[in-house]
Structure 1
Amino acid sequence: MGVRTRIAAVAALALAGSVLVAGQADAHNNQSSLKPVATKLNGPRGVSTFGNKVIYSVSSGAVYATDGHKTWKLGTVPGANGFAPAIDTSRRGVTYALTGAGGEPGQPPVPGSSTLYRLRYGKSPVKIADIAAYQKKDPDPYDLEKNPTDSNPFGVAALNDGTVLVSDAAGNDLLRVWPNGHIKTVARLKPRVVAVPPGLPAKGPDGSPIPPAGTLVPSEAVATSVTVGSDGYWYVGELRGFPATPGKSQIWRIKPGSYNAICDPTKPNRGNCKRYADGYTSIVDLAGGPRGTLSVVELAKKSWVQFELTGKPQIGALYLQFQGRHHQATFRKELVRGQLTMPGGTAFNRWGQLFVSAPVFGTGAVYRVKY
């Protein structure tokens, strides 16, 4: 999938309000609020926690930690290319940073892009794995854009055994990376047939015609996010490729230890990858919280394509997705409705406090969400 323009790093990874599904209720909480934790940040995105510390990344590739009294830099990774890396921190306090694709089509990639790093305070970051190099040998069998070896690693989650999960938004898959750089494919996300939404122009940016509204077309998954739930399962969220139809982003629940699992929207309840939730729009981050709760970030409630078409920042969303009996998604509620512009990252701490960053472009902040 195309990933070389600025917004391609976030939303038009595919170029190619949420809609609920049956059996899932939407509850609103008008009493939630935002409390700034770190402000005047340039393009904040990744968020993680360790003890009483909140860790976050910015567009320069720098990663910082704050305890509410002081702030210090954990390190800076190369290859950020003006878009903050994804980050996660293990239970042992090791922070990982993941850079996405960098560079223009037909040009060499930006050095250090599409790479997983381990940060060391006061020292240079350690390169663990070149994700793009792995994807060159692991083509996407369900690719729709005639570029099956494309890569744009976008989400990261640290596991307790020292391995790291990476979701690749261009490869449409979930990878597991070992400390020595070894990589295996955990799961592949298949495309989904969606209806072209109303309001799109007759032609795309490349001049190709766009089918009329209502036309059914295949659309890539765009695996932007990954987290570990309190049940130990691995959860992956989708952005949804062009035409970015609202309400068609899914969350998948993957059995730990799986390899080469298939996440299939036509058979969503089979195998080691099962659909956990549906009806979201342009998911860009997930975080596992207490008692089966997931925090879900939507970049734009009207879908990322509206940002592409208008160039105007879009209102995003932050949800709590609750888990019911038998590990099934039950209902969700939106927090701080209308208060987040193009949010990028979210995390819980050990006490269940919730954090979010916004916006991914321009001056922003990391907030604690009171709910």
Structure 2
Amino acid sequence: MGVRTRIAALAALALAGSVLVAGQADAGGNHSSLKPLATGLNGPRGVATYGHKVIYSVTDGSVYVTDGHKSVKLGTVPGSGGFPPAIDTNKWGTTYALTGAGGEPGQPPVPGSTTLYRLRYGKAPIKVADIGAYQKKDPDPYDQENNPTDSNPFGVAALSDGTVLVSDAAGNDLLRVWPNGHIKTVARLKPRTVKVPSGLPATDPDGNPLPPAGTPILAEAVATSVTVGSDGYWYVGELRGFPATPGTSQIWRIKPGSVGATCDPLKPAKGNCQRYADGYTSIVDLAGGPHGTLAVVELDKASWLKFELSGPTHGGLFLQYPGKNHRAGYKRELVKDQLTLPGGTAFDRWGGLYVSAPVFGPGAVYKVRY
């Protein structure tokens, strides 16, 4: 089994009916609770806000806007390949949608995949940039599976200057995209040596033997998520490649305007990309909130690999509070064990928090009371 992120493979499993997900509980946990905002959704994932409106994406590539009472379709992007696009909305109300690799690893790309779009209400979306084409000329120097030009753009953050940040889960980097389609590489995330966790079966679903527990493996970062903090810095979260060891996903803090920075777990306090937080598991989304807080979404607290091998347990939604010296402080889990396979999160301008789940199957977008 390679170390490339298996998100596209997870989507294929879901479409094949291999993933069965229980409904989300509308119940409190740890002094927090979930209030359904938009229900009856097929695989909700991306979440963004603009004023009192909440924007969200679903499996067929459609993006909707809701005021909590009625949802209106904003647009649909091609190339989703059965996995919802990532979305973000800038301060002027412009929404961007980002399609991932689409389909299964090793298969021809889905038309319109690995692409950043700008949505227009009532009109066809505008293609801003082909992320996959850029990555063909910008190989990952730290690739672990002999496919350094692979691309699976997974996270998006719209900046106030009109540019857009894209985190690429296969390229293991952060990109900045200009309105004319110009792209620069902001930072590269280096792999990290982790130990194979206990509790894995002897073989993967294809019958390939898995290494024994405790075996050290150099695991790719898998940059799934990006957001802008209230301090203006750019934050990137990791899924962690195979063997998806729990507690090894990091959050990196990157100086705005950086180009060619390196996020190095062996030198985490050096340069324009420095480690902000550690100890997370299978991060799939981040959101910058008030007073330096970050919302952090874990696909599955047991890891994405445990989910793929034996089915879902519980996803995680955390509030990460700032600490001293630009490092993370206390973190608080919200709606503990109330989410299955959450996909996205966002704050509104007043500090209201939203989350979507599950990313496969029937689901909803919720407001989190905390």
- 2:99 pairs with 1:99: yes
5+ residue gaps, structure 1, are 12-27
Shift of 1:203: 3.1
After superposition, residues 206-217 of structure 1 pair within 5 angstroms as 206-217=206-217
The verdict on how the C-alpha distance between 1:303 and 1:105 changes in structure 2, with shifts beyond 3 A counting, is: closer
Q: 2:337: which partner in 1?
A: 338
Specify the code of the residue in structure 2 equivalent to 1:364: G
After superposition, residues 58-73 of structure 1 pair within 5 angstroms as 58-73=58-73
Shift of 1:308: 1.2
The verdict on how the C-alpha distance between 1:369 and 1:10 changes in structure 2, with shifts beyond 3 A counting, is: farther
Counterparts of 1:8 and 1:256, CA distance in 2: 33
Shift of 1:217: 1.0
Specify the code of the residue in structure 1 equivalent to 2:161: D
Contact 2:9 2:104 in 1 (8 A): no
Shift of 1:4: 7.7
Counterparts of 2:65 and 2:55, CA distance in 1: 4
Per-residue Cα deviation, 1:154-212 (whole angstroms, up to 9, x for no partner): 00000011000000000000000000111000000000000100122333345543221
Counterparts of 1:201 and 1:10, CA distance in 2: 18
Contact 1:4 1:104 in 2 (8 A): no
Shift of 1:140: 0.3
Counterparts of 1:234 and 1:107, CA distance in 2: 33
Counterparts of 2:226 and 2:174, CA distance in 1: 8
Q: 1:39: which partner in 2?
A: 39
After superposition, residues 205-244 of structure 1 pair within 5 angstroms as 205-244=205-244
Shift of 1:29: 6.6
- 2:126 pairs with 1:123: no
Counterparts of 1:10 and 1:94, CA distance in 2: 33
Contact 2:162 2:178 in 1 (8 A): yes
Secondary structure in structure 1 of the residue aligned to 2:231 = coil
Contact 2:74 2:120 in 1 (8 A): yes
Counterparts of 1:73 and 1:8, CA distance in 2: 23
The number of residue pairs the alignment matches comes to 354
Counterparts of 2:7 and 2:189, CA distance in 1: 21
Q: 1:202: which partner in 2?
A: 202
5+ residue gaps, structure 2, are 15-27
The verdict on how the C-alpha distance between 1:93 and 1:234 changes in structure 2, with shifts beyond 3 A counting, is: same
The verdict on how the C-alpha distance between 1:268 and 1:8 changes in structure 2, with shifts beyond 3 A counting, is: farther
Counterparts of 1:49 and 1:288, CA distance in 2: 12
TM-score (norm 2): 0.93
Contact 1:2 1:8 in 2 (8 A): no
Contact 2:167 2:224 in 1 (8 A): yes
Q: 2:86: which partner in 1?
A: 86
Per-residue Cα deviation, 1:21-44 (whole angstroms, up to 9, x for no partner): xxxxxxx97210000000000000
Specify the code of the residue in structure 2 equivalent to 1:332: K
Secondary structure in structure 1 of the residue aligned to 2:291 = helix
Output the aligned Cα RMSD. Answer: 1.7
Per-residue Cα deviation, 1:255-307 (whole angstroms, up to 9, x for no partner): 00001100000000000000000000000000000000000000000001111
Q: Which moved more, 1:104-113 or 1:139-148?
A: 104-113
Q: 1:7: which partner in 2?
A: 10
Shift of 1:324: 2.4
Per-residue Cα deviation, 1:302-342 (whole angstroms, up to 9, x for no partner): 001111111x2331010000012332211100000010000
Contact 2:5 2:169 in 1 (8 A): no
Counterparts of 2:251 and 2:173, CA distance in 1: 13
After superposition, residues 1-371 of structure 1 pair within 5 angstroms as 1=4, 5-7=8-10, 30-310=30-310, 312-371=311-370
Specify the code of the residue in structure 2 equivalent to 1:294: L
Per-residue Cα deviation, 1:72-98 (whole angstroms, up to 9, x for no partner): 110000011111100000001000000
Contact 1:261 1:272 in 2 (8 A): yes
Shift of 1:2: 5.7
Per-residue Cα deviation, 1:234-259 (whole angstroms, up to 9, x for no partner): 00000000000000000000000001
Contact 1:4 1:102 in 2 (8 A): no
